[in-house]
Homo-oligomer: A and B are copies of this chain.
Amino acid sequence: MVAFGYEFRKKYFPLIRKDVVPINHGSFGVTPSPIIERQKQLIDEEEKYSDEFYFITCHEEYIKQLKELGSYLGIDYRNLALVTNATTAVNAVLRSIPWDFSKDKILIHSATYQACENTVRFLSDYFKLQYDVVELPYPFEDDEVLNIFEEKLSTGEYKLCLFDMITSMPGITFPYLGLISLCHKYDVWSLVDGAHAVGQVDLSFLDKLKPDFMTSNLHKWLFVPKSCAMFYVNPKHHDLIQTFPISWSYGTRPIESPSTLEENEHNENLFVNKFSFVGTVTYSQMLSVSEALKFRSEICGGEENIRKYQYNLQRDAIAKIKNVFGPESELLQNSTNSLTPPGLFNMSLPLDEKYTPVLRLLQNDHRYFKLFRSKCDRKMIAESKVPCRFLVLNGKFWFRFSVNLYNEVDDYIIGAESVKSVMEHFLDTELQSIKLKG
């Protein structure tokens, strides 16, 4: 077995450019080359004889992927679908529900993924669906979050609550198990955005806790090609939830069949059948799930082995980043250490007091922050080749680092030095500009 780290990168991620320090797996994911090869083979398959592929093979292969995924994750495949990405699944839910726009209300939180929050805003702007936003305190204790949510959910005002398993920015774990239970307790539908979940946390709770809806990208941490997500729907909603877009399968009922295949093959499962064909798209990513699972078990030695490497490297990386950022640098963590998943952690960059005026602007003026961030992003990405996402929280800069099997601790030393230098460069420029204006 090839050791994780640079040897592993060389062998299985040969496409990653040599001049790049890849410490931002969380944003888009990177796919091992054997799985990319499988994806390309499948693209060829689609071309060889499209009628057979789309009318016959694809359905059979789709179900095979679902069964293997269900078995790998320890959940019933009949509650699963494969969709384009987590945002698509969230849209499928929020836009399949026949809302009563005159009274229905949604609850979300302040770190909701922007695309998902935008979907809620869209429903509000266009159709007057109401929503509230829970403000999250950082770094939060699990109980603190549960209490804040319970206070809202117990009012009986909400039909649905959208929350994360692991938020994107900052990259931290949410008390999702408790939140699912709270939703059940107060009869609120739970829509669980687990965009970063598969490949980082155990999902076998799904069939036990039975949230209403859950989705997780498979292209981020499970190594499926871009882009693919799993979409879990509680059996009681299989009839309600429709594909996104609506396609040929709309109106599929347990006793009916898609027009192009034998009827008796299609009564097995309503939800699986409804989502198995959503028109002409490439299914090459979805049908590579099996290859990704094989890679993770056979080449990587399974989930436990993967997480062990990530947690060990994370621990070492934190120490090294502190050396660079300075002794006052902190890990975003709570008293029970429940905030960091294996692949993501957030570190603060302590700043000289002279930058306080800039920091204040960044914290209070979202437009100013977005412009500042876009300048830093472009320099980090195009010049330094060290991509790293950041935000301002509690008056501090926080950088989100990703940990994967192709990383070694040197990535974080180089990475931390680079982001620190980019940040100080732009802070100096902004400070200068404020002084000139002031």
A residues apposed to B, CB below 8 Å: 13, 15-17, 20, 24, 27-31, 36, 39-40, 43-44, 46-52, 54-56, 84-85, 87-88, 90-91, 95-96, 98, 114-115, 118-119, 121-122, 126-127, 217, 219, 225-227, 242, 244-248, 250-251, 257, 259-263, 279-282, 285, 370-371, 373-375, 377-378, 381-382, 385, 387
Q: Are A226 and B118 in contact (CB under 8 A)?
A: no
Q: Are A17 and B49 in contact (CB under 8 A)?
A: yes
Name A281's closest neighbour in chain B (CB-CB): B227
Selected from B226, B244, B261, B377, the residue in CB contact (under 8 A) with A260 is B377
Bound CA span A17–B52, Å:
11
| 20 sampled A-B residue pairs with Cβ under 8 A | A16-B48, A17-B49, A27-B54, A28-B50, A28-B280, A39-B43, A51-B381, A56-B381, A88-B245, A91-B245, A91-B246, A115-B245, A118-B248, A119-B245, A217-B280, A226-B281, A227-B279, A227-B282, A260-B373, A262-B374
Bound CA span A262–B245, Å:
32
Contacts of A30 in B (CB 8 A): 47, 50
Bound CA span A44–B14, Å:
10
Q: Are A87 and B245 in contact (CB under 8 A)?
A: yes
Contacts of A257 in B (CB 8 A): 370, 374
Selected from B15, B56, B244, the residue in CB contact (under 8 A) with A378 is B56
Bound CA span A98–B122, Å:
10
Count of identical protomers in the assembly: 2
Bound CA span A377–B55, Å:
9
Q: Are B282 and A375 in contact (CB under 8 A)?
A: no
Bound CA span A53–B225, Å:
15
Contacts of A87 in B (CB 8 A): 245-247, 279
Contacts of A373 in B (CB 8 A): 259-260
Task: Give A105 Cβ to nearest chain B Cβ, in Å.
Answer: 18
Contacts of A260 in B (CB 8 A): 373-374, 377
Name A279's closest neighbour in chain B (CB-CB): B87
Given A24-B51, A27-B54, answer yes or no on A250-B280 (Cβ-Cβ < 8 Å).
no
Most buried by B among A27, A127, A250: A250
Q: Are B127 and A282 in contact (CB under 8 A)?
A: no
Known: A27-B50, A114-B259. 4 other contacts (CB 8 A): A24-B50, A51-B381, A52-B381, A87-B246
Bound CA span A49–B247, Å:
34
Bound CA span A316–B247, Å:
36
Q: Are A227 and B280 in contact (CB under 8 A)?
A: yes
Q: Are A250 and B122 in contact (CB under 8 A)?
A: yes
